[in-house]
Structure 1
Amino acid sequence: SDSNYKEFICGWGAAAINILVTFPLNKVIFRQMLHNVTTVAAVRQLAGEGLIHLYRGVLPPLMQKSISVSIMFGMYDKCRKPLTATSMHPYIVKIVAAITAGTIESVLVPFERIQTLLQHERYHTHLVNMKDTVRYLWRNHGITEFYRGLTPVLMRNGPSNACFFLLRDEAMQRFPEPKAIPGRMLNQFAIGAMIGAFCSTVFYPCNVLKVHMQRKIGGPFLSVPFAIKEIYKERGSARAFFRGVHLNYTRSCISWGVINVAYEGLKRVLSSH
């Protein structure tokens, strides 16, 4: 029945709305991670490439993020409900459910892999679109190449989900929901924005590691300690692991604010039917 899949449907819709709003900002952050450049330099790079390339690579994140957020909310709910009936502490229940959902989300790493390659200017002429990239990786390197950079994604997904749901549930309990729709939306946006921005800032170095591991096609797979050493050696400072974090903070505020409002709105609509 619909009620069984409500959390999945709401998560999917909320993420799709969010991606279309924040994709250009994502692209600027990606270039900062990749080239260790300032915001202005990254914007100039993209402006130089023209409008035709601005939404290039939007399909993988649109598919990945909508399915990912659908799994995040849906599986969290599915895992949490049976565990709540046990004698487990409520916080442990939430952490276990969130980490399980985050680990399941990690099967979507191939989408992040393709997105990295499509956003990298080195492959603009070599890899035309998502279909072309999938075909090239499959024919030349096989399934394992799609999962390059899996470890930092596992390090990020479960713990950041636990952080998000614990803080979100606390905030929802502590801040009473206003009756008026504008007030309610503002409340939901603020909760989503603050918590999303906090979690994504804490786990930002995992994304830097992931992009670093995924920038190459073929060759040996880097371990996390080796990738950390390599980034440090190339960039000469621990600050490099947070290059682009200010924009990422802004983007996460908007992203998770939009996702939270859209999710709660869709849930309300589905519940009323």
Structure 2
Amino acid sequence: MKQLTLHHHTHHGRQKIMSCECDKKEMSEGDLLDRTCLGEGSVALPVGRAGLHQHWKEFVCGGGSAFCNILISYPLNKLIFRQMMHGVETTFALNQLQKEGLGFLYRGMLPPLMQRSLSMSLMFGVYDECLQPILERKVNPYVAKTFAGVVAGCVEATLMPFERLQTLLIHPKYHNKFRNTAHAASHIAKHYGIKEFYRGLVPILFRNGPSNAMFFVIRDEVRIRLPQQERAVYTGLQNFLAGATIGALLSTMFYPLNVIKIAMQCELGGPHRTVKYEFNYILRKRGSKFINFYHGAVLNISRAFLSWGIINASYEVFRKFLYS
């Protein structure tokens, strides 16, 4: 990806090297928004479409960050899943996991590991591929980023069979039915067909598109305003906190859609119910109080904070390593 490196001196004539500190105020808001700041100790601003030979690096960065995230946060994610599924308190869900034992703690990790690794690669890659041509046509940067984010989210949704398999493998009633990911996938394909892999697609589309768009817009706004750090440890901490805060906020906003998605995907076979039907069913089941959709939300905030902090910080580490 072609980039402009920022140095701490004044802008000279038509030179393409600019000072972030000196020139930020002189740049229009549109100019600032047109650039995605990717920190590598100093801030780097893309000025054109990345060459094809560079694209694999972005995919590796996204996939590597997702791998680190899943490996660390999966047990917490499983605990939150139990609360979403049963609407129970943290201590009850924790006792369930303790009774099942350590052998089941990482059961079902392969689907999210594969799904998240591919998903993060697509999220950043497709977003950039969509964004640059739109910005070249002088479209409003907010509109361009929103559109590119929604497209990236929809492309990510093609990976939802991994989420579908994870839900079945985590659910206690399927512990004795499916041995592993491959067994669950072959069983569904043989007895229910391809459509069953995409049960719960609509809430995933409603979640992915808007949340991706908001993530990229907010991320760029934050990066424009954050100070540059000279020490790598402070840069890493800043990247972690920025990603963690944005991720926790968006995850909380779209939490009810995840509850609906899980409720849909806990079923194997039978009719494919609508989002409206599932929403009303869960609402009645939980005492007709919308706040009860947020069982497990506190832990979800913790998980999202940790996950997106790891993703953002490790992405920058991978990127610095590959581009150095």
- Band of TM-score, shorter chain: over 0.9
Superposition pairs of residues 148-163 of structure 1, within 5 angstroms:
148-163=199-214
1:271 paired with 2:323, answer yes
Contact 1:7–1:77 (Cα < 8 Å) also in 2: no
User: Which of 247, 256, 259 is equivalent to 1:205?
Assistant: 256
The count of corresponding residues between Structure 1 and Structure 2 is 272
1:84 deviation in Å?
1.5
TM score, norm. by length of structure 1 = 0.98
1:37 paired with 2:88, answer yes
Contact 1:177–1:187 (Cα < 8 Å) also in 2: no
CA distance in 2, matches of 1:215, 1:185: 38
CA distance in 1, matches of 2:96, 2:106: 14
What per-residue deviation string (whole Å, max 9, x for no partner) do you get for residues 164-184 of structure 1? 111111111100220101110
Q: Which has the higher helix share?
A: 1
1:102 paired with 2:117, answer no
Partner of 1:215: 266
1:262 paired with 2:320, answer no
Runs of 4+ in 1 over 6 A off after TM superposition: none
Identity of aligned residues (%): 48
Superposition pairs of residues 9-20 of structure 1, within 5 angstroms:
9-20=60-71
Partner of 1:122: 173
Superposition pairs of residues 120-269 of structure 1, within 5 angstroms:
120-236=171-287, 237-269=289-321
Question: What residue ranges of structure 1 are gaps of 5+ in the alignment?
Answer: none
CA distance in 1, matches of 2:120, 2:65: 8
What per-residue deviation string (whole Å, max 9, x for no partner) do you get for residues 133-174 of structure 1? 001111110000000000000000010001111111111110
Aligned letter for 1:26? Answer: N
Contact 1:160–1:199 (Cα < 8 Å) also in 2: yes
Bigger mean CA offset, 80-89 vs 179-188: 80-89
Contact 1:5–1:74 (Cα < 8 Å) also in 2: no
Contact 1:178–1:184 (Cα < 8 Å) also in 2: yes
Contact 1:149–1:213 (Cα < 8 Å) also in 2: yes
Question: What residue ranges of structure 2 are gaps of 5+ in the alignment?
Answer: 1-51
Relative contact order higher in (CA < 8 Å, ≥ 6 apart):
1
CA distance in 2, matches of 1:117, 1:226: 21
Aligned letter for 1:245? Answer: A
Larger Rg: 2
CA distance in 2, matches of 1:10, 1:2: 14
Aligned letter for 2:223? Answer: M
CA distance in 2, matches of 1:105, 1:177: 32
CA distance in 2, matches of 1:261, 1:102: 21
